Structure 1
């Protein structure tokens, strides 16, 4: 009966709303720090395929560059983590600002719609629309050097978009590379069957179940490549890929499995596992902490990889 579906939706909506509220309280200090970092960016509204709606984005440019550069920049498009349900646009401000500075490229940090209000395929549609907009602006962005990046669910979107949209456009350049931080790659795996390599860390089964119940429509094929990039054609992935995983994360095995799967032919694949940390370890780091040191090391490695991909000395 229809009311049963409505009841299930309301239940999910209440749970997600409470989770959003609690995390917003917890991240108050982080949002204050982000506010200063966001001043280094400019706000952009990107048109979506839906009439009257736009997608919010923040553009970070390399330092000491004219606000209206005459030459197009290599660009890194980033999507934040959210479990597909949490509002977190801007939470990667430290990473985006650092990549613009250390890698010397433009960074476009993008929002996307969240479940349960907007389940699949709303998020990948938004991600595709962002890439389409970048490609339509060759005067600003170097279309031969487009890279995609994301954290957690945002990394899922980066991987999905790297295979789906360029193929539709039949572009010669396509997407040059992807950087995926602890991504979910196979949403068909039952959440109770996910275990972190480092068993000392508690599992977050309930959180993954809530996220996937919100994001995945009941009739959806969980092996759809636009949902689970593990099932995309291996030859459609870009030439350069980097996976950052955590040994205390349930998503580590499936992320590394995709990394190993796509490591064929002349493709360059970097698998960087961070030991003794949990999923999202780089999000909130206390000054002087081990997590801060590891975060800085990982970000430095990512910047180095990006510079090599786009051939910036």
Structure 2
């Protein structure tokens, strides 16, 4: 496949802006640039209710944003972890993705503003993410959500965190999860893949930006072999909730996301793997300008509804 024309137009727009590559910026400036790019994409979709609050975390309060759909509830729920290489991204950069999923899936979405690196290196993001998942399950009644209908999901680094907390929940025996949505997830810091070489530059996420994120997030090379950082390296993937994994053709992370899907299948975990041809990393967040981003969000919402309905 060739690069989708809408993607090419968007990449040309970004090039015309002349913004420096993220890896050439200090983390705080990279965050500001990412917020600016995310905020310029589209108008916010209306949802029934949105509330901001904080919950107790391992090292201070964790901000969360709770989205509620129409209806009396209790609602099924998605605990969502944003992307951004564990260094950038926040509740606002992924606000519209959460709004769209709330409406399309008819579920509550709990978006988690976990601690970022390099101020808080690995495994701080993992600790905050699992704490938020546990908190959501424990406070299901207060949140007006169904404890037996909780899913996890996220994009890129958020997909990584979703995969990891799903395994942590299995290890602990709680909370029980019905699904994991993994949008172009990072799954293996040790991998040297064909897609990383093929798509090293020119397609939004680059090899250099991945090195930037890695160097800020991990403490040392040993961390790369820890399944809390590289879920593909976990010895046992059995007993995990069904997975819906989306990858993009022109994404450096394509192969590791697909390799993780194959490992889950080998462990007899129900998996739906969908590669979007002509797409780049981050295309779901660009759904306001890329039609396949809209389609992918619709498919993800359909998968969520299906997973929730299996628990009736």
Shorter-chain TM-score range: 0.7 to 0.9
Give, in angstroms, the shift of residue 87 of structure 1.
3.2
Q: Residue 307 of structure 2 corresponds to which residue in structure 1?
A: 309
Q: Residue 252 of structure 2 corresponds to which residue in structure 1?
A: 250
Q: Residue 147 of structure 1 corresponds to which residue in structure 2?
A: 151
Task: Calculate the TM-score normalised by the size of structure 2.
Answer: 0.82
Provide runs of 4+ in structure 1 moved above 6 Å: 197-200
Conservation of the 8 A alpha-carbon contact between 1:61 and 1:100: yes
Conservation of the 8 A alpha-carbon contact between 2:78 and 2:151: yes
Change (3 A) 1:261 1:98: same
Conservation of the 8 A alpha-carbon contact between 2:204 and 2:281: no
Please show how residues 35-46 of structure 1 align to structure 2 within 5 Å: 40-46=49-55
Give, in angstroms, the shift of residue 198 of structure 1.
10
Change (3 A) 1:210 1:198: closer
Conservation of the 8 A alpha-carbon contact between 1:237 and 1:262: no
Structure 2 unaligned regions, length at least 5: 1-22
Cα distance in 2 for residues equivalent to 1:91 and 1:24: 6
Q: Give the superposed CA RMSD.
A: 2.8
Query: Deviation string for 1:156-211 (max 9, x for gaps)?
Result: 0000000013422x23x622110000011001225998234799858712111111
- For the pair 1:17 / 2:28, whether they are aligned, the reply is yes
Q: Secondary structure at the match of 2:32?
A: helix
Conservation of the 8 A alpha-carbon contact between 2:38 and 2:93: no
- For the pair 1:77 / 2:88, whether they are aligned, the reply is no
Conservation of the 8 A alpha-carbon contact between 1:200 and 1:248: no
Whose relative contact order is higher, 1 or 2, with alpha carbons under 8 Å and at least 6 apart? 2
Change (3 A) 1:191 1:19: farther
- For the pair 1:29 / 2:25, whether they are aligned, the reply is no
State which of 266, 283, 299 in structure 1 corresponds to 2:297: 299
Change (3 A) 1:198 1:166: same
Q: Secondary structure at the match of 2:153?
A: strand
Q: Secondary structure at the match of 2:182?
A: strand
Q: Residue 157 of structure 1 corresponds to which residue in structure 2?
A: 161
State which of 62, 65, 68 in structure 2 corresponds to 1:55: 62
Give, in angstroms, the shift of residue 236 of structure 1.
4.4
Q: Secondary structure at the match of 1:277?
A: strand
Structure 1 unaligned regions, length at least 5: 1-11
Name which of structure 1's ranges 21-30 and 213-222 shifts more when overlaid on structure 2: 21-30
Structure of higher CA gyration radius = 1
Change (3 A) 1:311 1:214: same
The alignment covers a number of residue pairs equal to: 287
Q: Secondary structure at the match of 2:286?
A: coil
Conservation of the 8 A alpha-carbon contact between 1:40 and 1:97: no
